[in-house]
Structure 1
């Protein structure tokens, strides 16, 4: 298999993935960085075209420098694109340092004997640095799912291939001039390694984008847009999963805004929406780690606290109740305070979410009937203490 044939495959692969990432960017605004990845693979097409052009040059240096820098630019675009997707700030400072050192090294690299180990090593070092930086950035993002780890591994393999190329050239030999590069075994090996890593990284990155896009769609379908907490569907789904995972000592807190209809009637629905949003934020801020917060009705909320006792749930509800009652909410000119009522129930034995919700709602009803702005707990749900004999 000749290097020219492999380069042709590289150009086709680069073109296919450039179009693929461009389509993703155009059809999915949530696919952060896809347009940068499209630009990176688009630069790959230019890189291959310059490789073909090099064979016809009398003075190969200008085109050779172009090949060298265009490929580094392609890696830079890919790095920025992946950084945006992983919601990490692109490492502009480190990238700039690599570029400055690379440009300063250009006269040195292209003055060395073509095919020498030193020239090949210096030529590959910027690519190694950029590819290593790419893998490190994904690792630093903190995401450790299987596809993320696979993508990091592929970056490590690609970086290793750059370092290995000078040693491969020393074994199989290379051309004595740049124009003869395409006819060498080294070129066929080098470009074959590039096309494999090019395809593997692009395919895994597309899978990562698809995975994350799907996750965002699911999250949006389970999130209440007004309060930014889970909607009823999302709350029930995540709460049931928590109970199935064995959260035996779970507590459910049911909450309801008091006299909410009067808020809407007196200040308008926009003000009512603002009150709901502020109350939801207070529920989230006061909730312990692992708590599941949802808006399950118009002004009704539920909070499941795994690994908690009834006393923990009551303390949480009292904290939110007092904070909410004392708050002066700057919501569209509303100049009065608001209150909420709470019901708290603790899970016993193999209670379902329905059983737990029923008892918490009953406690909430007692809080409403008792005058509102208070916390009531579900009684009679714990096993009675054994009787102590009288001697």
Structure 2
């Protein structure tokens, strides 16, 4: 077997392994994007296999077109996987048009594709364009992170390497050769090596992205309160600390809203704990549906919830709380008496640049106590922030709200 044949066989083995890896990810985690990437490498493997057939039986026009189309289809499937992963629109019309026009062009130019420099450019150009469509998909996502950007860069480089192949073919003396002699040429070794490097770089970047996504999902599931569907206490604290740092860095306001279900002990005593659980579940669902997309909501106690609104000042946060109070108070909860309504009380505080989460919780908690003491089903705002010169909050290591629910299951506010 020639050096190019060994390189081609190596590429086939790598393609099989990569397709298997992405297929395993899709089965394990149910990710449709991984299935498209697996299909991409499997299709590329089939297209590469045709090189052995062409070398053994000759390069007929249909065989050349099928070989070309198979690899172009692999790049198309890769783009679909990229779009599915980030939730972007798949440009089916653009990619389908490019695919159809390229197949027709290759069929018409099959006789001179391997013999002329510009024929080789025409053959490689669709691959580059398809890869650059993938770049466009990635950079259309405003929420992309560093790994997404890295994938876009690798895709762009991969597109460039396709356009370098005609130059490599010309410099290595591959122009004018019969396509059936491709595996005997120096150009084949160069071309297959370039393709293998780009394919591996793309695959490793995608694997890193899927691994990061799986880890993020596992972390998020560990931070979700199973009953209410909002963040648990630990997840809430972690996300809020990041939000507070970001708000300070950008000079944005941030507000905290505490909510406590009214007469919750009475609900449990008269309707049963299962009904109390339904009320908690309903309030969690209500928060998730009523809040804006940047809202961070968590269940920090038995029936107490906290919501942080980045970029929202005290007046807007109070308006949000009043709307939530009124809407939830009129909500019928499935599985409970149709005439029964449930209410909640709210305490609202706006954060200060040098204020931590514990202090915000303490001030909002004091406002919540006032709402409870003054009749419940009400919203009260917190007093201004006064720095604790003695550092008592930092010495305790936990907010008053969190400490109260660690030590008491009944509480005075019910």
CA distance in 2, matches of 1:349, 1:96: 53
Give the gaps of 5 or more residues in structure 1: 384-391
CA contact (8 A) 1:286 1:316 kept: no
1:99 aligns with 2:94: no
CA contact (8 A) 1:60 1:179 kept: no
Deviation track 1:19-66 (CA, whole Å, cap 9, x = no partner) reads 21122122222x331122112212222222211221111453333222
**Offset at residue 158 of structure 1 (A):** 1.1
**Residues 130 and 307 of structure 1: CA distance in aligned 2, closer, same or farther (over 3 Å):** closer
Aligned to 2:223: 222
**Offset at residue 330 of structure 1 (A):** 5.5
**Offset at residue 92 of structure 1 (A):** 1.7
Aligned to 1:329: 332
Deviation track 1:299-339 (CA, whole Å, cap 9, x = no partner) reads 211123456655554443233223333x3436246333322
**Residues 200 and 126 of structure 1: CA distance in aligned 2, closer, same or farther (over 3 Å):** same
Aligned to 2:302: 298
CA distance in 1, matches of 2:131, 2:274: 51
1:204 aligns with 2:208: no
Say how many residue pairs are matched: 381
Q: 1:344 aligns with which of 330, 334, 348?
A: 348
**Residues 167 and 245 of structure 1: CA distance in aligned 2, closer, same or farther (over 3 Å):** closer
CA contact (8 A) 2:296 2:309 kept: yes
Deviation track 1:234-285 (CA, whole Å, cap 9, x = no partner) reads 1111223344557496543221111234545666666655544553455456
Deviation track 1:51-96 (CA, whole Å, cap 9, x = no partner) reads 1221111453333222112111221222222222222232222222
Counting only pairs closer than 5 Å after superposition, residues 195-344 of structure 1 correspond to structure 2 as 195-244=196-245, 247=248, 250-263=254-267, 272-273=276-277, 275-280=279-284, 282-284=286-288, 287=291, 290-306=294-310, 310-325=314-329, 327-329=330-332, 331-332=334-335, 334-344=338-348
**Residues 143 and 7 of structure 1: CA distance in aligned 2, closer, same or farther (over 3 Å):** farther
**Offset at residue 119 of structure 1 (A):** 2.3
CA distance in 2, matches of 1:76, 1:36: 10
Aligned to 2:379: 375
Aligned to 2:25: 24
Which SS does the other structure have where 1:230 is aligned?
A: coil
**Residues 302 and 171 of structure 1: CA distance in aligned 2, closer, same or farther (over 3 Å):** same
**Residues 162 and 276 of structure 1: CA distance in aligned 2, closer, same or farther (over 3 Å):** same
Which SS does the other structure have where 1:173 is aligned?
A: coil
Which SS does the other structure have where 2:56 is aligned?
A: coil
CA contact (8 A) 1:328 1:336 kept: no
**Offset at residue 293 of structure 1 (A):** 1.9
CA distance in 1, matches of 2:103, 2:166: 20
**Residues 165 and 26 of structure 1: CA distance in aligned 2, closer, same or farther (over 3 Å):** same
Aligned to 2:410: none
Aligned Cα RMSD in Å? 2.9
Aligned to 2:55: 55
**Offset at residue 122 of structure 1 (A):** 2.1
Which SS does the other structure have where 2:32 is aligned?
A: coil
**Residues 81 and 244 of structure 1: CA distance in aligned 2, closer, same or farther (over 3 Å):** closer
Which SS does the other structure have where 1:56 is aligned?
A: helix
TM (norm. structure 1) is 0.86
TM (norm. structure 2) is 0.81
